Chain A
């Protein structure tokens, strides 16, 4: 399936992108939240993996914008503890989180949770 990665760190985009391609997915990537929103409108993906802290538009704010037009499952990519994320506005909109640093296994598991049956 087609996965959209949004992260302001080029290295993270490259690494996660490679991993996803290895897992048999197609990847499009954006450098910030605003770019993710435009990209989503142009070619809607099957899954979003959004970094929380990005310049211009955070992952959750980008997601809120995207969800107005598309119902696409989303994973939040972050280095922040689950516990600290609790209570952050909009965090209930994602289907799961993917903690940094990620491994092949955690990526597979998170995707399996977000898009059951794929």
Chain B
């Protein structure tokens, strides 16, 4: 609209100014052409109005389109294209705009790909670390990986966002990383542990949290590692947290850990059947496990075909 005003004034000036000069010159020569000039003036104004309106539209329409496109790109919608036609400078601008937008989209995709590759690298590294721990103890082979998978499934069941699911994956893989500081004889001891040995085993949660303390991208998983042995009733370790004061990711990893530990072979017990595992889970509900997390893991197990649902309640 502003462009229209400027154009209108310019065209009007161009049309009316010579007319005024003409009238003045004629009058100096004794010819009075005022009425003729007035009608010419009116038509000049009308013509100016029409011409400037048409011209302004021709310019503002593609400009509006370009502004809308630029706004979209500013919002991160790279690749946005604008329509253009004809061979004016404006369509050149639109053409280059489209090219720029496509390039931005390309760079953005490249970045996303690089980022994903980097993250995959991280994940592979911590997987390697976790299998180093699992290898210390033949009974726990694959345990970390299974706990991570199950924890992510529980998180999904609880409708957690993608970022938290990622943290659950890291937390699940690394939850026992602190066992690296515990002698194999203690970890693999088939007999009852002495109180000193028990304390040693219990220290793995805090040790694990300390190990990853210096790693920025794992920071968010630290609560899962430190608190995966806390109990809903407050009787767990290392901090004796109770109920909701235990971080949710730790409550989830705890549930996944219990399920995997009791359904796989250990030095101190034989693998429980799924039915027995479900019974153990049910007994832990509201005592060791967050009731909501317990219900979520049940739904996950039903979905994975490890429970027929309702057999154990």
- A24: Cβ under 8 A from any B Cβ: no
- A99: Cβ under 8 A from any B Cβ: no
Q: Quick one: closest B residue to A53, CB to CB?
A: B74
Which residues from B are CB-within-8-Å of A84? 63-64, 67-68, 71
Which residues from A are CB-within-8-Å of B74? 53, 58
**Interface residues contributed by chain B, number (CB under 8 Å):** 11
The CA of A6 and the CA of B197, in the complex, are separated in Å by: 56
Which residues from B are CB-within-8-Å of A46? none
The CA of A83 and the CA of B61, in the complex, are separated in Å by: 10
Binding stretch for chain B, among A11-19, A37-45, A86-94: A86-94
Of listed B60, B63, B67, B75, residue having the most chain A CB within 10 A? B75
Which residues B5-63 have CB closer than 8 A to chain A? 60, 63
Which residues from A are CB-within-8-Å of B213? none
Partner among A58, A61, A80, A89 whose Cβ is within 8 Å of the Cβ of B67 = A80
Q: Quick one: closest A residue to B63, CB to CB?
A: A84
Contacts A80-B67, A83-B1, A87-B68 given: A58-B60 contact, CB under 8 Å? no
Which residues from B are CB-within-8-Å of A52? 71
Which secondary structure characterizes the binding site on chain A? loop
- B239: Cβ under 8 A from any A Cβ: no
Of listed B1, B67, B76, residue having the most chain A CB within 10 A? B67
B60 touching A83 by the CB < 8 A rule?
Answer: yes
Which residues from B are CB-within-8-Å of A88? 68, 71-72
Which residues from A are CB-within-8-Å of B64? 83-84, 86-87
Which residues B49-95 have CB closer than 8 A to chain A? 60, 63-64, 67-68, 71-72, 74-76
A89 touching B60 by the CB < 8 A rule?
Answer: no
- A74: Cβ under 8 A from any B Cβ: no
Q: Could you tell me the distance in whole angstroms from the C-beta of A64 to the nearest C-beta in chain B?
A: 11
- A60: Cβ under 8 A from any B Cβ: yes
Q: Could you tell me the distance in whole angstroms from the C-beta of B46 to the nearest C-beta in chain A?
A: 24
Contacts A83-B1, A84-B67 given: A61-B75 contact, CB under 8 Å? yes
A52-B71, A85-B71 known, 10 other contacts, Cβ within 8 Å? A53-B71, A53-B74, A58-B74, A58-B75, A81-B67, A84-B68, A85-B68, A86-B64, A87-B68, A88-B68
What are 10 A-B interface contacts by the 8 Å CB criterion?
A53-B74, A53-B75, A58-B74, A81-B67, A84-B63, A85-B68, A85-B71, A86-B64, A88-B68, A89-B72
